[in-house]
């Protein structure tokens, strides 16, 4: 547990929110495709399926490395891992900006995937050392809020920047932001509060004698980790599919909106998350309940998604409102993280969160599934020298991923056991 003289202090918030800038940077990289999709499709002569495949390399790398990353974060300095990851992400962004072939695009995406492997785990590991368990739902919500600010930056601002100076130069600006964030992390972030070093080293020594497979067996054997991971990942699907990748094309081609209007709507998803993540975290901490807010969030998200998909002739304003509300509701996903932390021994928290994150980032590969479904009945219509155009029916088929995901997420929430905000280690 964090030092009582530090918990809740301005220093604890400064350290945690500065570390969360790493998450902010990674979320720009995840979500910038809404701004640059048309340029990539045209310049590299890609189909929707190929574009989805390219984007999915980020998540493939994440899924492959998340559990080892969770183990690593329990053993070594999260601060050092965050710094190395930031540098890798900056270099990957630079490679992306200079790419002249599909293979170079893939290399850049793999590098950015390496960067993102520890983006959430590293921030939460540091936060858990500076704050007590009773504060972690709110703290987690604010860390996620930093990521959502990155998602907003990747929408309208990055679209305007791309239209003004080209997608390659916009990526150079993106890399410059990463350099500035890295400097702030060097100055302000520390691994643990004063006086906590001995306790942290004791935890690391407990893990040093436990093999990879023994540790994996312990976290897999806890169903809370499985159900919580499924809940978080499935409720988060609109971020990966609409916010990160396909939202702009969907609104432009299926609803005849401009690119600026389309990215404004996708931005509302992130604005809603900025409100919903800390709000659901605060409600959960206040009620001392985890399961009930998760169930409400998943069920209400399903209802709103069905309205978006099946109520005809929605106006631009209605889309703005509905996606803001959806963003608020899917903020309930953050409750799954403290539920995992409370359901595992202290020395298993990093590995357990890593296992859950495999589900979370694994769902990012639905971007590729969406692209495949989009092209399943495509009539090969193209405009502007190579940009593919898809029919409304193509989008309706691909969008079915979202309500199905919410329904399964609701079932996962129902299967979770209530912790009443009491940590197992207590």
What residue segments make up the domains of the chain, in order of their start?
Answer: 10-191+211-415
* Cβ-Cβ contacts under 8 Å for 93 (sequence gap 6 or more): 29, 108, 112, 171, 174, 175, 178
Nearest one of 137, 199, 169 to 339, comparing CA atoms: 137
**Residue pointed to by tokens 């050392």:** 129
Asked if 346 contacts 425 with a C-beta cutoff of 8 angstroms, the reply is yes
Q: What is the sign of the dihedral through the CA atoms of 102, 170, 248 and 91?
A: positive
The pLDDT of residue 268 is 94
Residues 48, 111, 335, 76: what is their CA dihedral angle, to the nearest 10 degrees?
Answer: 170
Distance of CA 16 to the CA centre of its chain: 17
* Torsion angles phi and psi, residue 58, rounded to 5: -60, -45
The pLDDT of residue 6 is 44
CA distance 48 to 269: 22
What is the pTM for the complete model shown? 0.77
- Burial string for 270-282 (b: 16+ CB within 10 Å, else e) reads bbbbbbbbbbbbe
Q: Which two tokens stand for residue 304?
A: 């709103």
Q: How many residues does the chain have?
A: 426
CA distance 364 to 362: 5
Second CATH level (architecture) for the domain 10-191+211-415: Up-down Bundle (1.20)
Asked if 219 contacts 281 with a C-beta cutoff of 8 angstroms, the reply is no
CA distance 159 to 173: 13
Mean pLDDT by 10 residues, the chain (426 residues): 52 93 93 86 84 84 78 82 95 95 92 88 86 76 85 89 94 97 95 70 59 73 89 92 87 90 91 90 88 96 95 93 96 88 74 74 81 85 77 91 96 93 66
The pLDDT of residue 4 is 42
Q: What share of the chain is helix, strand, coil (3-state, %, to 5)?
A: 80, 0, 20
């Amino acid at each position: 547990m964090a030092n009582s003289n530090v918990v809740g202090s301005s220093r604890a918030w400064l350290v945690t929110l500065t570390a969360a800038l790493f998450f902010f940077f990674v979320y720009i990289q995840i979500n910038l495709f809404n701004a640059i999709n048309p340029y990539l499709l045209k310049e590299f002569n890609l189909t929707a399926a190929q574009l989805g495949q390219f984007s999915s390399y980020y998540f493939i790398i994440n899924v492959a490395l998340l559990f080892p990353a969770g183990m690593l974060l329990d053993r070594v300095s999260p601060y050092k891992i965050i710094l190395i990851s930031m540098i890798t992400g900056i270099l990957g962004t630079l490679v992306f900006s200079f790419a002249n072939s599909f293979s170079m695009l893939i290399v850049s995406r793999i590098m950015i995937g390496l960067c993102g492997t520890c983006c959430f785990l590293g921030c939460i590991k540091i936060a858990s050392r500076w704050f007590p368990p009773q504060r972690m739902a709110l703290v987690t919500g604010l860390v996620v809020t930093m990521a959502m600010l990155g998602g907003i930056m990747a929408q309208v601002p990055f679209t305007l920047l791309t239209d003004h100076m080209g997608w390659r130069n916009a990526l150079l600006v993106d890399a410059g932001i990463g350099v500035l964030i890295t400097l702030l992390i060097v100055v302000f972030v520390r691994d643990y509060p004063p006086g906590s070093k001995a306790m942290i080293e004791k935890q690391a020594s407990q893990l040093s004698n436990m093999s990879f497979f023994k540790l994996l067996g312990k976290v897999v054997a806890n169903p809370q980790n499985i159900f919580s991971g499924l809940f978080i990942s499935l409720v988060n699907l609109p971020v990966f599919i609409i916010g990160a990748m396909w939202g702009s094309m969907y609104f432009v081609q299926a609803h005849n909106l401009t690119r600026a209007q389309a990215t404004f709507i996708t931005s509302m998803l992130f604005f809603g998350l900025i409100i919903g993540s800390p709000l659901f975290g605060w409600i959960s901490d206040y009620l001392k309940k985890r399961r009930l807010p998760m169930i409400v969030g998943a069920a209400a998200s399903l209802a709103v998604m069905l309205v978006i998909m099946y109520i005809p002739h929605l106006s631009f304003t209605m889309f703005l409102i509905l996606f803001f509300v959806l963003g608020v509701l899917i903020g309930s996903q953050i409750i799954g993280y403290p539920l995992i932390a409370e359901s595992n021994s202290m020395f298993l928290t990093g590995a357990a969160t890593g296992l859950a994150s495999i589900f979370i980032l694994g769902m990012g590969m639905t971007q590729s599934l969406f692209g495949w479904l989009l092209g399943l009945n495509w009539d090969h219509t193209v405009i502007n020298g190579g940009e593919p155009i898809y029919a409304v029916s193509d989008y309706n088929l691909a969008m079915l991923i979202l309500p199905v995901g919410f329904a399964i997420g609701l079932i996962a929430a129902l299967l979770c056991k209530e912790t009443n905000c009491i940590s197992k280690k207590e």
